[in-house]
Amino acid sequence: MDIQTWTWILVGITFALYIGIAIWSRAGSTKEFYVAGGGVSPLANGLATAADWMSAASFISMAGLISFNGYDGSVYLMGWTGGYVLLALLLAPYLRKFGKFTVPDFIGDRYYSNVARFVAVVCALLVSFTYVAGQMRGVGLVFSRFLEVNINTGVMIGMIIVLFYAVLGGMKGITYTQVAQYCVLIFAFMVPAIFISIQMTNNPIPQLGFGGADEQGVYLMDKLDKLHRDLGFSEYTSGSKSMLDVFLITAALMVGTAGLPHVIVRFFTVKKVSDARKSAGWALLFIAILYTTAPAVAVFSRTNLIETVSNTPYNEAPDWFKNWEATGLIKFDDKNGDGKIQYLADKNKNELTVDRDIMVLANPEIANLPNWVIALVAAGGLAAALSTAAGLLLVISSSVSHDLIKKMIKPNISEKGELLAARISAVVAVCVAGYFGIHPPDFVAATVALAFGLAAASFFPAIILGIFSKRMNKEGAIAGMIVGILLMLFYMTKFKFDWFGGGTKEDWWFGISPEGFGTVAMIVNFTVAICVSKFTPKPPKEVQEIVENIRIPSGAGTAQNH
């Protein structure tokens, strides 16, 4: 069977599975819609958290980034892994003990202010919409190549699928769908990696294979460094980013992770605080399987790309090249008229443009793996993108229905009315997400990295100070969040969208990239929050007692529905 037939079969089976689970586990109450009824087992929640966490950026784009950037791309690996550890150990148990459904709910109650709640809702929406744009872009990429539809049509199909099980099942449906999606995406990521590791180094373990040698006894990393030097690129194992920028990007991704609303809410779906800790441990194990394999996939795909395409006559280009060229994600421009594909570091002489987001998806084709493996990767990419998109859409809908409507606009709304509002806001959110998926600000991982920067700049200081500082008051938290998010938005839009007079890489402040600026905005947030709180009244005594109590391990609270 050809690739397209296999893709239709595997994608069809997985989609039927997701929709079947959504129907089986549809939410009948707001508690089931927001936190899956609070009765998910630690193992199932660990699987669901891993799927929620490993988005299209992790599955599709991270290995592509490392593949093109080499050493510099490792900041994403370090930042996202370290961030999850930070979240699991430092924040999740305390937030679970506080017992609120959402991050804006925590901030609204901890800072005894609807203004703080409103600012948190706006920040949650900004973070989630920026993040979900990357997921929708990933869905469009997969559909455009493997089902041979326009990338925009692919985004539309993804919107319909996500809408169905997110709106029907809520967190209950999403949780059990994500368990299935983790199984699909990890199988889809590992199978081709194992195949190619055996092909290139005769070692079935990719994590060891990319550090091994080929049949001629040449170490794979040395071989890739030589290929890079020959084409004028900097060595794969050397970095070009400044140490300051590497540190700031890694830190922004770490603290941004700890402020991501769609990951934090997963810890409210278990019965008690100890289960939150256990599910965090399981999730870390499941995440590590993919994250330790991604650098190997990056090396395999980069080596194969250069060896199969560079200096090859265009009319003899392999089938995979022509297949991806049809999507517009690979472009060849014969500048010197010799009919050969010149892939060079020199932009004036380079004739090949490759979208880095295609590397994981194209990798099995480049390596001539069986058609069913190629189709399996497509199904895995969709599972990764859809699992995270669903979690984000739930954050958006609960921010509007629970934090905005229930807590601020119409406190006496019925449970049925709140559930309807959540579903309507999810529909609107999907439409907006689809628009951003069709018009993304950048490639998948960069778009997602900006979302982490926004989370770092807004939520992280408010959450940390809310848990560990009895002196932090509403005035300090509100001022810090507003200044942090506005500063990050200004820098991001100036250097990514050319607003406010535009700006180039040379104009970056102190050489700090937009992806790393979230750390700077976070530090400013902390500074403003602490300074303002020093000159304004202390929080009420009952709020200080709450802060004291959430750090006591015993007497774990349950998620409340008020």
pLDDT band at 165 (very low <50, low <70, confident <90, very high): low
Query: How does pLDDT run across 501-553, given as a tens digit for each residue?
Result: 666 777 888 888 888 899 999 999 999 999 999 999 999 999 888 888 887 75
Q: Is the pLDDT of residue 189 over 80?
A: yes
CATH superfamily placement of domain 3-21+42-549:
Sodium/glucose cotransporter (1.20.1730.10)
pLDDT over threshold 50, residue 556 = no
For the residues 398-410, what does the mean pLDDT come to? 82
The answer on pLDDT for 443 being more than 60 is: no
- pLDDT above 90 as % of the chain: 16
Instruction: Return d(Cα 208, Cα 49) in angstroms, integer.
Output: 27
What is the predicted pLDDT for the residue at 480? 96
In angstroms and rounded to an integer, the radius of gyration of the C-alpha atoms of the chain is 23
Provide mean pLDDT across the span 370-387: 86
Question: Any idea how long the chain is?
Answer: 562
Is the predicted pLDDT of residue 399 greater than 90, yes or no?
Answer: no
Q: Distance between CA atoms of 471 and 431, rounded to whole angstroms?
A: 41
Residue labelled with tokens 């609070």: 38
pLDDT of res. 483: 96
Per-residue confidence band for 381, with pLDDT thresholds at 50, 70 and 90: confident
Give 284's Cβ-side CA count (13 Å radius): 15
Evaluate if pTM is beyond 0.85.
no
Residues 6 or more apart whose Cβ sits within 8 Å of residue 268: 34, 35, 38, 95, 96, 99, 100, 101, 559
How large a percentage of the chain has pLDDT more than 70?
91
Q: Per residue in 95-137, pLDDT tens?
A: 777 776 677 888 988 998 889 999 988 888 888 877 777 777 7
Show the CA angle centred on residue 108, arms to residues 104 and 109, nearest 5°: 120
* Torsion angle of the four alpha carbons 40, 42, 46, 49, in this order, in degrees rounded to the nearest 10: 40
pLDDT at 562: 44
Closest of 63, 126, 116 to residue 363, by C-alpha: 63
The pLDDT value recorded for residue 559 is 46
Summarize pLDDT for 205-255 with one digit per residue, the tens: 998 888 888 878 888 889 889 888 888 888 888 777 788 888 898 999 888
Helix intervals (H) in 114-204? 114-146, 151-201
